[in-house]
Amino acid sequence: MKKISLIYLLCICFYTINAQNSNDIVIGKIESIHSNILNEERKIWIHVPEENPEGLYEKKNYPVVYLLDGDSHFDSVVGMLRQLSSVNGNGICPKMIVVGIPNTNRMRDLTPTKGKPKVGEDTGGGENFMSFIQKELIPYINSNYPTQPYKMLIGHSLGGLTVMNTLVHKPNLFDAYVAIDPSMWWNERALLNTIKQTNFDKKYSKKSLYLGIANTMNPGMDIKNVLKDTTSQTEHIRSILELNTFLNGSTQKELSYKGKYYEEDDHGSVPLITEYDAIRFIFDFYRLKLENQDFSDPESNFINKIVNHYKRLSEVFKIEMKPDEEYINNLGYQFMGMQQLKKSEDLLKLNVTNYPESWNAYDSYGEILLKLNKKEQSLEMYKKSIALNPNNEDGKKIIKEIEL
């Protein structure tokens, strides 16, 4: 029965309000875990979607984004995901937990092999760092937060190099990979040469990779003539363009891949636009595509469209995916207001099926049944609602009215 105001929905798209101090705006928290593998304390920045206003809806589990150079990109990725997952209640992507991983020794952790560092720099610790993520960080997040199996890894520059190294050597660790202007030049292109020998076979069939390429060329060059250059100043972009050419080639069969060159962005500005485009590409299947006919035609098979869509999502996310309770609830009331009562009934019944522990689902379903003059069924739903939430005073009043 409860519906959330439009103003409230707009507010939660952008900010989480700290319940203890209404003057604070927070989007996450910082925790510390000890790594036995790295023999050090590691800070992690964590964002968990805030939902369930007024306790109306069932708590959820979420896919997880693991974000390298986490303190640099945390705010933008969290804000973007919150906006794109909340578009009119029918998100472009799922709501996701974001785990930002700040650095302690960036050159050590984000280089997969020994290179030629500056004096005093340690390199080639990438294998240990990824072991920390796989064996310590991911289990910690899964134990302490409401996670789904689906995971994404995002990295920029040396972080992008780490993303590519993980894709090649630990492809099953993540489901989606975003490499932003990666340092493929590292150690005389050692990883790039390995990638060229990699068979992206069936184990990559459900994996996605998005590659963002910044404009780091000298003035007067373009992506065609830069390939003829042999100077160290263009080694960075030439190595990435070579990677893109290979991944677009005939040897790349199973991996879902897209690379894009951003002519107007340099190495520092390219992360934001790449992350946005990557989310759109990786989750191009996610949004429930509704048409005018779905709303205007009372006879359209609306409920089957929803059910079949979420069956497909369940296959991708490797867990049962259900349409958002709040979204279906609001759609049900929308059709109720349009006097398309059969659609409203089907939708609100779907919520009862999907969320049998939700008092609000029974309450809303009871309301449409009452409108359809199905009083006995309506009474049963309201009684179930009260059993789950004895404080549902509106429901108690309706029960008395039905029983008169």
Please determine, for residue 253, whether its predicted confidence score (pLDDT) is greater than 80: no
Give pLDDT, residue 117: 65
Please determine, for residue 376, whether its predicted confidence score (pLDDT) is greater than 50: yes
Give pLDDT, residue 50: 81
**Is the backbone of residue 389 left (phi > 0), alpha (psi -120 to 50) or beta?**
beta
Give pLDDT, residue 12: 39
Give pLDDT, residue 72: 94
Please determine, for residue 14, whether its predicted confidence score (pLDDT) is greater than 60: no
Give pLDDT, residue 250: 62
pLDDT band at 113 (very low <50, low <70, confident <90, very high): very high
Cβ atoms of 54 and 62 closer than 8 Å: no
pLDDT band at 54 (very low <50, low <70, confident <90, very high): low
Give pLDDT, residue 283: 97
For residue 373, how many other CB atoms are within 10 A of its CB? 7
Residue whose C-alpha is closest to residue 262's, from 223, 296, 225, 221: 223
Stretch 211-216: mean pLDDT: 97
Please determine, for residue 18, whether its predicted confidence score (pLDDT) is greater than 70: no
Residue whose C-alpha is closest to residue 367's, from 335, 391, 390: 335
pLDDT band at 87 (very low <50, low <70, confident <90, very high): confident
Stretch 101-111: mean pLDDT: 96
Q: What is the mean pLDDT of the chain?
A: 90
Q: What is the pLDDT of residues 339-372, one digit of tens each?
A: 999 999 999 999 999 999 999 999 999 999 999 9
Cα–Cα distance measured from residue 150 to residue 17, given in angstroms and rounded to the nearest whole number: 27
Domains, the chain, ranges and CATH? 6-282 (3.40.50.1820), 294-403 (1.25.40.10)
Stretch 326-350: mean pLDDT: 94
Share of the chain above pLDDT 70, in %: 91
Q: What pTM does this model have?
A: 0.88
Stretch 152-178: mean pLDDT: 97
Give pLDDT, residue 119: 53
Cα–Cα distance measured from residue 174 to residue 51, given in angstroms and rounded to the nearest whole number: 25
Give pLDDT, residue 19: 42
pLDDT band at 58 (very low <50, low <70, confident <90, very high): confident
SS (H, E, C) the chain: CCCCCHHHHHHHCCCEECCCCCCCEECCEEEEEEECCCCEEEEEEEECCCCCHHHCCCCCCEEEEEEECHHHHHHHHHHHHHHHCCHHHCCCCCCCEEEEECCCCHHHHCCCCCCCCCCCCCCCCHHHHHHHHHHHHHHHHHHHCCEEEEEEEEEECHHHHHHHHHHHHCCCCCCEEEEECCCCCHHHHHHHHHHCCCCCCHHHCCCEEEEEEECCCCCCCCCCHHHHCCCHHHHHHHHHHHHHHHHHCCCCCCCEEEEEEECCCCCCCHHHHHHHHHHHHHCCCCCCCCCHHHHHCCCCCHHHHHHHHHHHHHHHHCCCCCCCHHHHHHHHHHHHHCCCHHHHHHHHHHHHHHCCCCHHHHHHHHHHHHHCCCHHHHHHHHHHHHHHCCCCHHHHHHHHHHHC
pLDDT band at 141 (very low <50, low <70, confident <90, very high): very high
For residue 318, how many other CB atoms are within 10 A of its CB? 12
User: Which residues sit opposite 156 in a β-bridge?
Assistant: 180
Nearest-Å Rg of the Cα atoms of the chain is 25
Residue 207, amino acid: K
Stretch 36-45: mean pLDDT: 97
